[in-house]
Amino acid sequence: MSMLIYLIPVALFLGALALLAFLWALRSGQYEDLDGAAERVLLDDEDEPQTPAKR
Amino acid sequence: MSCCAPGADGFAGGVQSLPSDDEVRFSARNLGDGVFQTELSVPAVHCGACIRSIEAGLGRLDGVEAARVNLSTRRVTVRWRGEALPPIVATLARLGYAPTVFDEPEGEKDRTLSELLVAVAVSGFAAGNIMLLSVSVWSGAEGATRDLFHWVSALIALPAMFFAGRIYYRSAWGALKHGRMNMDVPIAIGITMAYALSLYETIHSGPHAYFDASVTLLFFLLIGRSLDHVMRERARTAVKGLARLAPRGALVIGAGGARDYLALSEIEPGMRLLVAAGERIPVDAVVEAGLSDIDRSLVSGESAPQKVAEGDAIQAGTLNLTGPLTLAATARAEDSFLAEMLRMMEAAEGGRARYRRIADRVSAAYAPVVHLTALATFLGWMAATGGDWHRAVTVAIAVLIITCPCALGLAVPIVQVVAARRLFEHGIMVRDGGAMERLAEADVAVFDKTGTLTLGHPRLQNLQQIAPEALAAAAALAANSRHPLSQAVAVYDEGKGPVFEAVAERPGFGVEGRAEGSLWRLGRAEWARGDGASGEVADEGTVLSRDGAVLARLEFDDAIRPDAREALAELEDRLGPVEMLSGDTARACRRVADRLSIAHVEAGLMPADKVARIEALARQGRKVLMVGDGLNDAPALGAAHVSMAPATAADIGRNAADFVFLRDSLSAVPVALDVSRRAGRLVRQNVALAIVYNVFAVPVAILGYVTPLIAAVAMSTSSIIVIANALRLGRVRR
């Protein structure tokens, strides 16, 4: 059972990574306009990523 | 409208007045460094092509640094630099997306949603990891390994309980403090007790810990709560984004003739205001100078524009159509007509205040039953085992967990979110789930006339009796005027009429111009025929004249909304009697009523009369659906059991209404009724499913056969069943 010593932290670390990724996405405004994001993928022109909105 | 997808046509737009540049400037936010940010609502945006044309169109303007469209909230954010405001409004209007300004207290924006999403993420993370450990325990981990897993679970669950659970603790505490019960009370008690018991078990190396159950429960319920919030927020911002009828301020003429744009709240009686043609009147006022026509349809329900001149009093919220006016304010904004309507609305607060949502009613009955059952179980086991309190507490908490109201906390919001989505696709926005439940109960429909059954703008009625040349000339002349009657004629302008010169709009009379060596006039009959018409009886009609000779007589009526007849017939069939209450003249009402075959008509009503009629119906035990748009309807909208308003309605009316429909067609009313009734059926089914589930699960729990594994399986299964049932609404039946 000694592998649990490092397997559990590894599992938790990976989970925490996903959690942080989600929080980052939330903070940087990626959930502000879900419908718009779906449409923008179809636009041809060079679309620069949205600068984080100053709120 | 410049766009592609079907369904774009018929969105409210067109006839609204645009915000003035002063107003837009006033609402701009200074970001520092000479950069300003303006947010405008553009309700007509609905696809990728719209995004592109707006962003490209605005991006080309001088001074604009960036333009970004948000399709979900139907807004555009423009960042610009310099002293002068770039022509943003004009550009948007030219592209076919008439913008509007909106108020929003800064900083408050969607803090709740962020909090909910973070809570969902944290509880989801915790639930996933604890479930992994729990599966290992269920598959046979024992001894020190099991204890280790339990300890790790307890550590992961703790922040989740604090962080994600505090939403429920707060709400439950708020309810208890006021001596009420809501769904959050049993949830808060259930998860806390489960956590405490599991901690005790872990400390004493017990075999059963419910960390997974309490966190999973939190996770599921938070999803339901977030969905509920997203739906409401979306409808709310979309409604807010529509045209605001009260301007944010007005151009005030100071002592030395200086002009200042002041906010509405700073306008005092006695101030002199300048209102250009096409703008709304900000406060109740008296005309000091100028001549114009005023559109009062939203205020009083009268369909015909009214001529105003020096000395006439005008109410806030009316639209100045043809000429600039200098006004002397007679009341402050909060004492104006608008505010009076608000006060009446508060006084008339009717069935809505007394209504309690199905979920609340069920939970008020459900929570005590759950707690009593758990308490009885505890006492029963104490008696049966002769005081083995550990065993009794364990079983009682298992009962609490098993009965935790997933079905109600999750399935009811999901039904309502799916239903709201359905309605949104039909161009209908709904305030909250309770509104759908109330609509499903309604059994009599009351309609306003102007702007509700009709579109609120006139249409040329006697097209066949007008000679084609006369029509072409009238249309070419009318294209120069913004009077609603002119605009109804200008629709027929195909460029075939004569070319007019020296065109002038004569406020209160009509429009005139020179062509082919003659003076042409379109407008009030006595004016159009020149000064020599004195001997005849007063003639109120609209005519086209050439050098004083009448060429054509134009008759108008208010265009009835598309599908109104079918919609009303369907309502009579499925809902109950349909009535019409209007502030307009009996004759105008009769015409519309006859065409729509409405039997019960009441004309010439004041706002208070409408409320009285609705209250009279309510006293007979009827549940009234009120559909109306004007300021004068707002108190009635508030008094009715459930209410609907078109998107063109006065904003106070839109705020009072439970449903707002965006498209012109009146078929929105039966569609909303249909979706609401189906949603109501699904909610009741889900409640029934939850009860059936409890009938089977609770005895098992009371008898003490529930382990953490059984609890997890039972909880997930019941949740999945009710969600699947809710999603059946997703299939459109048309």
Q: What is the mean pLDDT of residues B357-375?
A: 79
Residue pairs spanning A and B at CB distance below 8 A: 60
Q: Where are the domains of chain B?
A: 21-101, 111-238+355-415+678-730, 249-347, 438-456+560-675, 462-554
B448 is catalytic: yes
Residues of B in contact with A48 (CB under 8 A): none
B224-229 long-range Cβ contacts below 8 angstroms, 24+ apart: B224/B409, B224/B410, B224/B411, B224/B412, B224/B413, B224/B414, B225/B116, B225/B167, B225/B409, B225/B413, B226/B113, B226/B116, B226/B117, B226/B120, B227/B413, B227/B414, B227/B417, B228/B413, B228/B416, B228/B417, B228/B433, B229/B112, B229/B113, B229/B116
Q: For residue A30, what pLDDT is reported?
A: 82
SS3 A10: helix
Q: What is the mean pLDDT of residues B141-158?
A: 88
Q: For residue B537, what pLDDT is reported?
A: 46
Amino acid at B104: E
Q: For residue B241, what pLDDT is reported?
A: 53
CA distance linking residue A46 with residue A24, whole number of Å: 24
Q: Tell me the shortest Cα–Cα distance from B132 to chain A, in angstroms.
A: 9
Q: What is the mean pLDDT of residues B147-175?
A: 89
| Topology, domain B462-554 | Calcium-transporting ATPase, cytoplasmic domain N (3.40.1110)
Six-digit token string for B342: 């608000």
CA distance linking residue B119 with residue A27, whole number of Å: 14
pLDDT classification of B657: cutoffs 50, 70, 90: confident
Instruction: Tell me the pLDDT tens digit for each residue of B662-682.
Output: 778 888 899 999 999 998 898
CA distance linking residue B73 with residue B51, whole number of Å: 13
Q: For residue B352, what pLDDT is reported?
A: 57
On whether any CB of chain B is under 8 Å from the CB of A47, the answer is no
In this complex, do B152 and A43 lie within 8 Å of one another by their Cβ atoms?
no
pLDDT classification of B376: cutoffs 50, 70, 90: very high
Q: What is the DSSP string of B224-287?
A: HHHHHHHHHHHHHHHHHTSPPSS-SEEEEE-TTS-EEEEEGGG--TT-EEEE-TT-B--S-EEE
Six-digit token string for B453: 């059954």
Q: Which CATH class is domain B249-347?
A: mainly beta
Q: Tell me the shortest Cα–Cα distance from B118 to chain A, in angstroms.
A: 7
Instruction: Tell me the pLDDT tens digit for each residue of B521-539.
Output: 888 877 887 754 444 444 5
CB B99 within 8 Å of CB B92: yes
The radius of gyration of chain B from alpha carbons, rounded to an integer in Å, stands at 31
Residues of A in contact with B129 (CB under 8 A): 11-12, 15
Q: For residue B379, what pLDDT is reported?
A: 93
Q: B345 versus B330: which is more confidently predicted?
A: B330
CA distance linking residue B196 with residue B218, whole number of Å: 15
Superfamily of domain B438-456+560-675, CATH level 4: HAD superfamily/HAD-like (3.40.50.1000)
CB B284 within 8 Å of CB B328: no
CA distances in angstroms from B394 to B198, B228, B285, B501, B706, listed in the order given: 9, 33, 72, 92, 10
Residues of A in contact with B153 (CB under 8 A): none
pLDDT classification of B406: cutoffs 50, 70, 90: low
Q: For residue B199, what pLDDT is reported?
A: 92
Six-digit token string for B287: 């005309």
Mutate to test the interface with B, among A2, A35, A41, A51 (most CBs of B within 10 A): A35
Q: For residue B354, what pLDDT is reported?
A: 62
Find the range with the poorest average confidence among B19-33, B235-249, B613-627, B650-664: B235-249
| Topology, domain B21-101 | Alpha-Beta Plaits (3.30.70)
- Above 50 in pLDDT, residue B105? no
| Closest residue in chain A to residue B124, using alpha carbons only | A19
In this complex, do B51 and A54 lie within 8 Å of one another by their Cβ atoms?
no
B502-507 long-range Cβ contacts below 8 angstroms, 24+ apart: B503/B477, B505/B322, B505/B323, B505/B480, B505/B481, B507/B290, B507/B291, B507/B292, B507/B293, B507/B307, B507/B322, B507/B323
pLDDT classification of B4: cutoffs 50, 70, 90: very low
pLDDT classification of B153: cutoffs 50, 70, 90: very high
What percent of chain B has pLDDT above 70?
Answer: 88
Instruction: Tell me the pLDDT tens digit for each residue of B578-627.
Output: 999 888 788 888 888 888 888 888 888 888 888 889 889 988 988 899 99
ipTM of the complex: 0.75
Find the range with the poorest average confidence among B344-348, B435-439, B656-660: B344-348
Residues of B in contact with A43 (CB under 8 A): 48, 51-52
In this complex, do B72 and A33 lie within 8 Å of one another by their Cβ atoms?
yes
Residues of A in contact with B69 (CB under 8 A): 36
Q: For residue B247, what pLDDT is reported?
A: 67
Q: For residue B7, what pLDDT is reported?
A: 37
The counts of H helices and E strands in chain B are: 26, 27
Instruction: Tell me the pLDDT tens digit for each residue of B33-65.
Output: 888 888 887 877 777 888 888 888 888 888 888
Q: For residue B11, what pLDDT is reported?
A: 38
- Above 70 in pLDDT, residue A54? no
Q: B119 versus B4: which is more confidently predicted?
A: B119
Mutate to test the interface with B, among A3, A6, A8, A51 (most CBs of B within 10 A): A8
